[in-house]
Structure 1
Amino acid sequence: METPERTGIMRWLTPADVVDVFVYVVVLNLAVEYLPLVITETFTASLLTALLLKVVLEVVVLLKNRVKVRFRAATTPVGKGASALLLWLILVGSKFVVLETVAWLFGGSVSLGGFFSVTGLIIVLMLARAGVRRLLS
């Protein structure tokens, strides 16, 4: 039995993406429960925050991988240094993008704390995602 052709957003959405969002919701709500700096006032806000995190983290991973290719292709110390600096800017800057986007979209109903708490949250999100993907594969 053939499946119908995937159209629109379904072309990019995979079952792994849905599982990632569920994992992010669980991790985010555990952070809300155990870290006083992390706040979501409603489940809907935590679900939308998890979706936002999924999108931002996918973009960051895409950019990071492109810069890693540039780093490997660089043949001069200046090229390697510039690529390393760009990679650092992406990794650090993405945390500020997450914080500002959450503040802009959700106002006071969602807070991920500051730079260090959002960094820890993102590390745990990525580890949990990798663990669940490994478990399910």
Structure 2
Amino acid sequence: MKQLGPLDVVDVFAYTVVLGLFVQFFPAVITESFLITLLTAVLLKVVLEAVVWAKTRLLQRLRSGQPGPRRAVSAAMLLLVLPGSKFLVLELTAVVFRGSVHLGGFFLVTALIVVLMLARAGTRRFLEPRPGPGTAVADPGEG
């Protein structure tokens, strides 16, 4: 089991901002309060982590080079997971928040997930440690 870290908190904050922007600019996306928006961002984080994990595992199985039925089953499961994840997000928010959250339809949720993943990648890239000014990099030829 993965331990939660600072990047997970940053992801939730980025998801909260993106979800807030979707509520602002798309009338079909509705959350009743900031707390519900924050809780929805946490739910989206959990669901998207699970979906990314499942997609990664399925892609590993496809690339493993095993012939025949196992590869076909992995490909079929991947084709089901891709659109199925959007329906999972819609259904979970409907069940968990009982009408307090409406994420629009399939296409709006797809756009939301794409923007969430881009925001996640962007914030992680922004926070990635870089050598700063005055940081000496050791030359392997010296010594």
Aligned partner of 1:131 among 112, 119, 122: 122
2:92 counterpart of 1:101: yes
After superposition, the C-alpha distances for 1:26-77 in whole angstroms (9 at most, x for unaligned) are 0000000001111001000000000000000000011111101110124325
- 2: CA distance between counterparts of 1:48 and 1:71? 35
Partner of 2:78: 87
SS state at 1:36 partner:
coil
2:20 counterpart of 1:20: no
Matches within 5 A, 1:33-112: 33-76=24-67, 78-112=69-103
CA offset at residue 107 of structure 1?
Answer: 1.6
Q: Counterpart of 1:99 in structure 2: which amino acid?
A: L
Q: Counterpart of 1:76 in structure 2: which amino acid?
A: P
- 2: CA distance between counterparts of 1:84 and 1:120? 23
SS state at 2:99 partner:
helix
Moved more, 43-52 or 80-89: 80-89
Structure 1 residue runs of 4 or more that deviate by more than 6 Å after TM superposition: none
Unmatched runs of 5 consecutive residues or more in structure 1: 1-8
Identity %: 58
- How many residue pairs match? The answer is 128
Partner of 1:3: none
Unmatched runs of 5 consecutive residues or more in structure 2: 129-143
- 2: CA distance between counterparts of 1:74 and 1:94? 26
- 2: CA distance between counterparts of 1:77 and 1:135? 42
TM-score normalised by structure 2 residue count: 0.84
CA offset at residue 104 of structure 1?
Answer: 0.6
Q: Which has the higher helix share?
A: 1
TM-score normalised by structure 1 residue count: 0.88
